[in-house]
Chain A
Amino acid sequence: MKLVNIYIEECVKYLPRRLKEDVRLELKSELEEMIEVAMNEHDEEQAVKLTLESMGSPKHLADQYLNKQGYLIGPRYFDIYSKILKIVLLAMSIAFTVTYATKAFFTPQLEIWIIFEFLASLFNASIIAFAYVSAIFYIIERFEVKLDDKDLKDDTWTIKGLPSSVQDLPHHPVEHIFEIGFVFVAFFFINFQAHLIGVYFQSAQEWVITPILNELTRSSWIGLMNVWLLLLLLSGVIKAIVRLPRKVRLQGSIILDGLALVMFIIMVFTQSLINPNLAQSIAPGNEVFALMISRGFLAGGIIIIVTSASSWIVRIIRASKTKLDI
């Protein structure tokens, strides 16, 4: 019976103190009887082996006593966990962006490290926030803390909560909030720190930046660029306001995106947007490589225009199929 005692001890070691003695006694009594019955057909060694194997692994048995599930956060709490995690991460991203944008705005000689510091800090903070929120919910799950059921289930939902059509379903305000944030960041850098939008390379232990935009012709294109950004901003705002009627959101964003696309094409083809020295700065003395880079930028611009135009046309077709006047 030595094996039986080992099995029982292997099981109860996972149990809390209050359960240990009780389970130990019960298992011992039950197993001994099961083995006695098995010994009617097998020798003792075989009977012990078969009985213990029929019980499953000691760890698995202990998990059954603890009613342990194979997950950290179960279905009961997962929805609210996911909701809180999203709120925390979004709030943190906004706070970090605002802090660093303010810091950058008031720094007279902006250096490249601030962008890397921002990204690294945001990444670290996100991981820490994820770990804390997950740990708190693991404790709630583990100790079966009773949360108010109203927090867990959306009982107030009625059929009115459904969107007016299927096409509204993929739209999520968060993605449009990021779109708006991106426009603000672009506005800030283009207007105040345009020299930082460039190609970075290290030379003699110092970062050298070759700006992508043409500073010499800045006065001719900055107005168009700001109008373009404003159109993108308005389009993002309209799409993000979910309370607006769907028709207004759809038509408004299509018109604004269309105007933005036209503005972008005008800018690219009528203005000298790109720094003429860019290719030479990146690949000095290598004319073939420099030519490839210039063509690469041109190809990139064309790809952006074609993609935006295609997406815009697809949206018009989808809107017309839903019987909406454009």
Chain B
Amino acid sequence: MKEIVDGLLLELRRGVLILGVLSQLDQKEYGYSLIQKLQIHKFDIEAGTLYPLLRRLEKQGLLESSWELIENRPRRYYQISDQGKIVLEQLKTEYFSLNTIMVELTKGGQQ
């Protein structure tokens, strides 16, 4: 039973992962700072999942990246692109709409 629930929760979280990540990149962040930022909002994401995801989003043109040298450490910063902002708005609209429907559907259990 636990295995089934874990699998379903993983799928549920995977669906909103990109929305969560894009929403926090209006200001530039590097991988670990983004993890911490998301954790403040109780949105846990594994580092091994986030770094490749940032690359994929950049490849799709939703993020822009640049290298900067901070405290003698090279860091790759990511920020949402103009195209990413448009996509984010669409995702948000769809998410809120879905959320309203799901709240309505799941309210009252069997009704």
Residues of chain A touching chain B, judged by Cβ–Cβ distance below 8 Å, are 22, 25-27, 29-30, 32-34, 37, 54-56, 60-61, 64-65, 67
Report B-chain residues with C-beta under 8 Å of the C-beta of A33.
32, 73
How far, in angstroms, from A281 to B49 measured CA to CA in the complex? 73
22 residue pairs A–B, Cβ–Cβ below 8 Å: A22-B76, A25-B67, A26-B31, A26-B51, A27-B51, A29-B30, A29-B75, A30-B51, A33-B32, A33-B73, A34-B32, A37-B32, A56-B46, A56-B48, A61-B48, A61-B51, A64-B48, A64-B51, A64-B53, A65-B51, A65-B52, A65-B55
- B residues contacting the other copy or chain, number (CB 8 A): 17
- Is B74's CB within 8 Å of the partner chain A? yes
Report A-chain residues with C-beta under 8 Å of the C-beta of B13.
none
Report B-chain residues with C-beta under 8 Å of the C-beta of A34.
32, 47
Partner of A32, one of B48, B55, B73: B73
Report B-chain residues with C-beta under 8 Å of the C-beta of A29.
30, 73-76
A56-B48, A61-B52 are known contacts; what are 14 more A-B pairs with Cβ within 8 Å? Answer: A22-B76, A25-B67, A26-B31, A29-B30, A29-B74, A30-B31, A34-B32, A54-B46, A60-B48, A61-B48, A64-B48, A64-B49, A65-B51, A65-B55
A67 touches B48 (CB 8 A): no
What is the CB-to-nearest-CB distance from B102 to chain A, in angstroms, rounded to a whole number?
25
How far, in angstroms, from A30 to B32 measured CA to CA in the complex? 6
